[in-house]
Amino acid sequence: MSNHGEQALRRPFLRHLAYLCDYEKGGDTTTAIALQQTPQNIVYWFASNKCPNKEAGMADKTKRFLEEVLGSLKSLKSDAAEGVASELFDKAVAFSSRRIEDYVKILGREVDFVLHRLEQFDLQKDNAFWADLRAIREAFCEPIKICRMCYNMNSKFYETLQLKAVSGQPLAERFGTICHIIGRLNHTLKAVKLVVKTALLQPQLFDDFQVSRATSDPRSPPPLRGRNPTPSEIAGRMVSSPGSIVSLREALRDLDQKFGIASELRRQCAASTWRPRVHAELTLLNHFWAQNLEFVDADRYIGCSKPACYCCYHYIQAHPGRFILPPSHNSIYLNWKAPDIYDATDEKKIKTREDVLNEMAKKIRIEVLAQIVEKRGPASWRPDSLTEISTVRFRACFRSAKDPETNIWIDEGSSETLNEDGELEDRLERQGEGESEIESEDDEGGGVPLVSLRD
């Protein structure tokens, strides 16, 4: 297999392996994996948003799971592959049983609702569709069965579901959720198959390996507690010319009247739940960067169980380490922080982080100002110091939507638009996989959007 071919399989392998390790719904167990090449062997470095608390006696069950999975794939022969895949599938479903149960609960709620509401008038039109939907309902009590069923789903049935989820159709949102959850439930078997395929095609990744966790930086205390800045004060730091500051303050006053942003800001600043943490992919990025570790095949790729959030994406993009840009769902979390630098004397690393954060701040500032203009509606104010706004290709990254489970406003930006940016192409991972691969549930506990203005 050529280097390019190996990379094309190795990247999805890492991402799917990370998915299998992400055993709970929500952000705590979001997992990232990267491969270090040492002279002796390969090290599977992994990190999660939240580390098990060793002091409280919590075992690292992800490490054990990963070691077992990789161990079972060592020296795999093709005639044994099917049996091993079946065992791995059982193990993976058991490991992620809480996540799967959560999905099944949501799916059950939605399927029951549409069956109840639509069967009377739609039943005669498409008997086969309703029969398939009922078959899914009947498989709910067996996690293995429902996951397998979602993986083997009849394509005509899935197409019909997608058509019913098109905006404007009756109960479109419900059908949209059903499609999404089926995509999630299908993922476990899909991931297992890809991991097994990798073991057959690239056995060198499994010959001699070790699994190590990169520990997360501690969470930070609420960063703005005590300062409680007002929108007016923040405006003074966002633009430089006095005219722009006045205009921006006016715009923010308008928005405050419409959306109550000042009280929301006060509430967030005082919230004890505002405890920023480093996301898994940045923990690994920092780990490899700080120690100058060598990647397998010099492929600076970090696989993650979920697409990157807005801040992680921009951190990786601005970082000089040339790490491969991941796909992003563009969600923004207040509970995000940049990796710590432990050696306070390492001026080079400190400067690098400062530069990365400054670069990020530049982009965020432009997008926040654009959103203020957009949400305020037609007004006389134009940010004179930011003429580049008119030329920026705005992603749809500030369209907000409410997460049905957490009741939190999240962003619905599409990662696809990132590909439009020519300068990112070289470093952007080409996924080559279906849209269902992108996990759009952004349910990191406690996550809130940076800007939660609503129409």
- In whole angstroms, the minimum distance from the beta carbon of 313 to Zn ion comes to 8
- In one letter, which amino acid is 384? D
| Interface ranges with Zn ion (CB under 5 A) | 279, 309, 312
- In whole angstroms, the minimum distance from the beta carbon of 402 to Zn ion comes to 20
Q: With respect to Zn ion, which residue has the nearer C-beta, 133 or 309? A: 309
Q: With respect to Zn ion, which residue has the nearer C-beta, 245 or 438? A: 438
- In whole angstroms, the minimum distance from the beta carbon of 430 to Zn ion comes to 21
What token pair was written down for 1? Answer: 């297999």
Strands 303-304, 31-37: pairing is antiparallel
- In whole angstroms, the minimum distance from the beta carbon of 33 to Zn ion comes to 15
Q: With respect to Zn ion, which residue has the nearer C-beta, 194 or 312? A: 312
CA 79 to chain centroid = 36
Q: With respect to Zn ion, which residue has the nearer C-beta, 304 or 372? A: 304
- In whole angstroms, the minimum distance from the beta carbon of 311 to Zn ion comes to 6
Q: With respect to Zn ion, which residue has the nearer C-beta, 199 or 284? A: 284
- In whole angstroms, the minimum distance from the beta carbon of 452 to Zn ion comes to 18
Q: How many other C-beta atoms are found inside a 10 Å radius of the C-beta of residue 298?
A: 9
Backbone phi and psi for residue 119, each to the nearest 5 degrees, phi listed first: -60, -40
- In whole angstroms, the minimum distance from the beta carbon of 359 to Zn ion comes to 16
Backbone phi and psi for residue 2, each to the nearest 5 degrees, phi listed first: -70, 165
The Cα 385–Cα 324 span in angstroms is 33
CA 400 to chain centroid = 16
- In whole angstroms, the minimum distance from the beta carbon of 308 to Zn ion comes to 5
Q: What string of DSSP letters covers 8-56?
A: HHHHHHHHHHHHHH--SSSSTT-EEEEEEE-SS-EEEEEEESS---GGG
The Cα 350–Cα 343 span in angstroms is 9
Q: With respect to Zn ion, which residue has the nearer C-beta, 136 or 451? A: 451
The Cα 179–Cα 215 span in angstroms is 35
Q: With respect to Zn ion, which residue has the nearer C-beta, 95 or 310? A: 310
3-class secondary structure, 89: helix
The Cα 248–Cα 142 span in angstroms is 56
Position with the least CB separation from Zn ion: 312
Residue 45 exposed, middle or buried by CB count within 10 Å (0-12, 13-18, 19+): buried
Q: With respect to Zn ion, which residue has the nearer C-beta, 252 or 309? A: 309
